[in-house]
Every structure is written in C-alpha cells, then in structure tokens.
Amino acid sequence: MLLSVVLPCYQEERNIEAAWAQVLEATKSLPVDVEGVFVDDGSTDGTLLRLRELAARDPRVRYLSFSRNFGKESAMLAGLGHARGDAVVIMDSDLQHPASLIEAMLAKHAEGYDQVVARRTRTGDRRSRTLSARIYYSIVNRLIDVRLDDGVGDFRMLSRTATDALLAMPEYNRFSKGLFSWIGYPTAVVDYDNLARVEGRSSWSLRRLLDYGIDGILSFNNKPLRLAVYLGGFITMLSIGYVIWVIGAALVYGVTSPGYVTLISAVLGIGGIQLAFLGIVGEYIGRIYFETKRRPHYLVKESSGLPDRTELARQVSTPGTVAG
C-alpha cells in the first residue's frame, strides 16, 4: 500500500527537512510505502531550493512549485491531485502537525474509515483564542449547512475514494473545511495536543481569519439571503401597520407635524439594512463571477515530474488548464 503525504509549504525553508524527517520516522515501522508530495505555494525564500535538494536526494519526494502564492487551499488541491497513494495524508509543513499521528490514522483507515481527522485539543492555547474559536464555531454552525468542528483542520488522512471525491469538486472558492465535511463518508477522529510553531511565522492575521469566517458562511449556504427576505418582509409589514396608524390618526385628530426623529431613524435604519443586504447579495454575485471565469486553481512553475490527477477536477471546471 502506498501512502502519500501532501505538504503545502509557504516560506518554510527552515522546516521542510525536519518535516520530511518526521514523516519518515513516523512511518518507518508501518507496513506502507510513503511518497512525499510537497507543494511550494510561491514562496519567496529558499523553500524551492530545499525541495530540489530533497527530491534529488530522496526519490520518494516529489514537489511542485506554484508561479505565485495561490493560498493553502490551492496548494492542498494540487497536492491531492498529484498524490498517487491509496491513502493520502494532508499535513502542514511547519511541524505543527505531529507526524507520529500517522500510525493511529492508518489504523483507523484499516478499519474502513474514509476520512481520519486529527482533532487538536486546545490545551496550552491562550484563553482569548480558545474563546473566540468557540464563539466562531457556534455562530458558523448555526448558519451553515455542513458541520464544522473546533480543533479540526486540514490535518487528516483520506482514502482514495474520499480524495477522488474532493478532486471531483471543481469550485473555485474552496473552503476546504466545508468540502471535507460535505463529502461525508465514514469519518473517525484522533486527538492530539497543540504544538507551537518553532520556525517561521503563521501567515494568518486577524483580518484573514475574519475573511475566512465570512467565506465559510457564504460558501456553504444561502441563509444570509433567506435572512434578507425575512427581515425585508418583517419591515414591510411593520411599515404597512405604521402607515395605517398614521393615516388613522390624521383622520381622527387632524394633521400634526412632529415626527422628525421617527422620520430620520426610519430613513437611516432602513438605509443601513439595505446597504448591508446589498453587500451580501454582492458577495454572492462576486462568487458567481469568479466561478464563471473558470480559471485554473493554480499555475505550476516547476515540478519534479508528477503525474497530475487534478484532471478530474479540471474536466468539469477548467478546460485547458496549464497545471502539471
């Protein structure tokens, strides 16, 4: 059995060697062959140099390098598309995902689970981080149609079936947490403790986290649009009632002019709501716009001659992709 390990790397020159060493260490006593599929996501440091060296030294290592930074989602897609294994592990190359978990994952895989998810416990995390994560997940899970779990990220083992299912989803806006959950299949969970990043720095800023949250909500349902319909309907009913009341009052008591405060708050309030929902509608249209362009998810600048299985995704989405 061949096990592929997909490692997206962005500015990880100091971590690559160690990440691969850990994978080898973790798999040497397991009854599998391993291949490493490194995806350099347009790093500007020595990541590509390190990958060339590694691939020259170790025939089990293959890599591809993007023409620019396309983001981790694209890097993972490319890695999955180029992995040939019967099972595929996706893990970060910054040493935050313990390779030692592969053994437990493989055991679950052998039991017949198509997805074996690594769940990070939050011991040792800052309080504020734990709290904000909890709030985020409780909000998002209420809003979205697939289930997201706290501590569950991209670190997981996928069977060939699950991998092909992911590759067959051609969407341009890839919110992988949702995609993993959407494909379903029997899923098992293994827990691990959080590891602090040793070298380099995390590329997530607060702004990116916020964008990610909004992506999560908008990629997987149309509830915000539904909300607009309900709220619009509610306000319309309210204003009809108010108009009837105003006309009735004018008939009974004659026309009285005060009402400046009511007027200005109604105008501003409704104006604000309209703008917000225009924004939501705009977000969806923006997504449609990007999907209809059918651009490739990534462009490869250099690779160690990997066969491309992103084919599956490409047939549906992007005729004439240059990838591979």
203 part of the interface to ligand UDP, by CB under 6 A:
yes
- Supply the minimum distance, in Å, between the C-beta of residue 174 and ligand UDP: 13
Residue with tokens 């990043």: 197
Q: Which does 73 bind (CB under 5 to 8 A by kind): ligand UDP, Mg ion, none?
A: none
Looking at residues 74 to 103 of the shown chain, list those that interact with ligand UDP (rule: CB under 6 A): 75, 92-94, 96
Q: What is the helix (H) or strand (E) element at residue 90, kind and residue range?
A: strand 87-90
Task: In whole angstroms, give the CA distance from residue 286 to residue 218.
Answer: 11
- Supply the minimum distance, in Å, between the C-beta of residue 172 and ligand UDP: 16
Residues near ligand UDP (CB under 6 A), total: 16
12 part of the interface to ligand UDP, by CB under 6 A:
yes
> Tokens at residue 136, please?
């985020």
Q: Which does 194 bind (CB under 5 to 8 A by kind): Mg ion, ligand UDP, none?
A: none
Helices (H) then strands (E): counts for the chain: 11, 8
Task: In whole angstroms, give the CA distance from residue 15 to residue 315.
Answer: 35
Backbone phi and psi for residue 294, each to the nearest 5 degrees, phi listed first: 50, 45
Q: Which does 41 bind (CB under 5 to 8 A by kind): Mg ion, ligand UDP, none?
A: ligand UDP
Torsion of CA 96, 102, 104, 106, to 10 degrees: 150
Query: Whose Cβ is closer to ligand UDP: residue 101's or residue 228's?
Result: 101
Sign of CA dihedral 43, 89, 37, 314: negative
Backbone phi and psi for residue 72, each to the nearest 5 degrees, phi listed first: -65, -35
Looking at residues 74 to 113 of the shown chain, list those that interact with Mg ion (rule: CB under 5 A): 94, 96
Query: Whose Cβ is closer to Mg ion: residue 12's or residue 35's?
Result: 12
- Cβ atoms of residues 14 and 202 within 8 Å: no
Query: Whose Cβ is closer to ligand UDP: residue 73's or residue 114's?
Result: 73
Query: Whose Cβ is closer to ligand UDP: residue 196's or residue 251's?
Result: 196
Backbone phi and psi for residue 195, each to the nearest 5 degrees, phi listed first: -115, 135
Query: Whose Cβ is closer to Mg ion: residue 17's or residue 308's?
Result: 17
Binding site for Mg ion (CB under 5 A): 94, 96
Binding site for ligand UDP (CB under 6 A): 8-10, 12, 41, 69, 71-72, 75, 92-94, 96, 202-204
